[in-house]
């Protein structure tokens, strides 16, 4: 992933505008620093992903993937290009 822009930082969560190098998909990555999270917190993040994927509405962003990194985990969502 190539970081295009840092959108927001709050505690141990960071919102990043990114481009996936494998296929050029642009999106927003909600990144969680898992060094500060327990196994239970990672399960909560996975549950959040499942709930978001289940919603089909033009008013809710599309979720693409759960991404694991060396120092964290992220939810890759569509880039609605807002702020």
The string of pLDDT tens digits covering residues 26-63 is: 999 999 887 656 778 788 888 988 988 888 888 888 89
pLDDT for res 21 = 93
pLDDT at 73: 87
Neighbouring residues of 14: CB distance < 8 A, sequence distance ≥ 6 = 6, 8, 30, 31, 33
């Amino acid at each position: 992933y190539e970081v295009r822009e840092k959108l927001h930082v709050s505690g141990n969560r960071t919102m990043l505008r990114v481009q996936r190098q494998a296929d050029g998909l642009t999106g927003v990555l909600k990144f969680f620093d898992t060094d500060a999270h327990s196994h239970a917190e990672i399960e909560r993040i996975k549950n959040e992903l499942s709930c978001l994927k289940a919603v089909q509405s033009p008013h809710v962003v599309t979720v693409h993937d759960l991404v694991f990194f060396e120092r964290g985990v992220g939810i890759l969502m569509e880039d609605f290009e807002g702020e």
